[in-house]
């Protein structure tokens, strides 16, 4: 089996879903059977039968038809962390359900791209964070960061936490998610200089944003071949 990958981020809205979907699309086009998973999703539903928009995007670009219950075991109808959602909605999370779902997906696909929720320390329960899930799934991870001023600080906090947790860390992907903020090449040099870890790519800001061209041009900006193909 190829290496499955966990896509985490420095924050919410830094482009984890776009990166995950673009990676899934790339691998699929290389005739690799790729599965996708978003263990936890939150946000208001359009209709009672709606699934998370993030999950829809992941499934669309991976062209997978797995059960939603496997791809997205937990969906909270308020935009907050799993920990907070459980407190507000009086729910409980069973992490073994998430791990079992991942194991099933990994058994039927060559690789699985797992997208986190929020940042690496988003709480899933009181003493269990996204980083704990990455550790329990035993996955290599990449950190997606934006480029607004402050992103270097967020990147370093995320990276240092990943180191402290002894996570298997592959490197960074930078999304230029604001028109102002850091220049892409500047951000790339800062992140590499500070961490010594590979920056797989830096995707330029485009206004207005549309996911179709983002997915199509992703391999032009990101060295996707180094993200898991080495073990095929």
Q: What is the pLDDT of residues 177-197, one digit of tens each?
A: 999 999 999 999 999 999 999
Total number of residues shown for the chain: 232
pLDDT of residue 2: 65
Rounded to the nearest 10°, the torsion over CA 187, 190, 191, 195 is 180
Helix (H) or strand (E) holding 69: helix 68-71
pLDDT of residue 120: 97
**Residue 182 assigned as binding residue:** no
pLDDT of residue 227: 74
Radius of gyration over alpha carbons of the chain, in Å?
17
Helix (H) or strand (E) holding 138: none
38 is catalytic: yes
Per DSSP, the three-state class of 168 is strand
**Residue 116 assigned as binding residue:** yes
**Residue 195 assigned as binding residue:** no
Closest among 188, 114, 127, 194 to 158, alpha carbons compared? 194
Q: What is the CATH number of the domain that holds 106?
A: 3.40.50.300
Peptide bond into 208 cis (omega under 30): yes
Closest among 216, 196, 191, 197 to 206, alpha carbons compared? 216
Find the catalytic residue in 16, 30, 38, 165: 38
How many domains is the chain built from? 1
Which residues of the chain carry a pLDDT beneath 50? 1, 231-232
Q: Is the dihedral of CA 15, 17, 18, 19 positive or negative?
A: positive
Residue 165: which domain range? 5-231
What backbone torsions phi and psi does residue 57 show, to the nearest 5 degrees?
-65, -45
**Residue 228 assigned as binding residue:** no
pLDDT of residue 232: 42
Return the exposure string of 139-178: e unless at least 16 CB atoms fall within 10 Å of the residue's CB, then b: bbbbbbbbbbeebbebbbebbebbeebebebbbbbbbbbe
């Amino acid at each position: 089996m190829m290496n499955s990958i966990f896509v985490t981020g420095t924050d919410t809205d830094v482009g984890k879903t776009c990166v995950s979907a673009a990676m899934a699309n790339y691998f699929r086009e290389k005739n690799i059977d790729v599965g996708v998973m978003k263990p936890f999703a939150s946000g208001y539903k359009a209709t009672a039968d709606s699934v998370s928009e993030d999950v829809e995007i992941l499934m669309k670009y991976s062209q997978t038809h797995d059960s939603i219950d496997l791809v997205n075991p937990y969906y909270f109808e308020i935009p907050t962390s799993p920990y907070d959602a459980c407190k507000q909605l009086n729910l409980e999370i069973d992490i073994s359900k998430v791990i079992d779902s991942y194991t099933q997906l990994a058994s039927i696909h060559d690789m699985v791209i797992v997208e986190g929720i929020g940042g690496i320390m988003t709480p899933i329960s009181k003493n269990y964070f996204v980083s704990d899930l990455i550790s329990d799934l035993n996955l290599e991870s990449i950190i997606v960061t934006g480029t607004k001023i402050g992103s270097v600080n967020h990147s370093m906090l995320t990276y240092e936490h990943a180191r402290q947790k002894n996570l298997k860390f592959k490197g960074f992907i930078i999304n230029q998610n604001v028109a102002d903020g850091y220049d892409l090449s500047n951000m790339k040099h800062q992140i590499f200089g500070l961490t010594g870890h590979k920056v797989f790519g830096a995707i330029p800001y485009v206004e207005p944003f549309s996911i179709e061209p983002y997915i199509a041009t992703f391999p032009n900006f990101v060295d996707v071949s180094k993200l898991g193909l080495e073990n095929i």
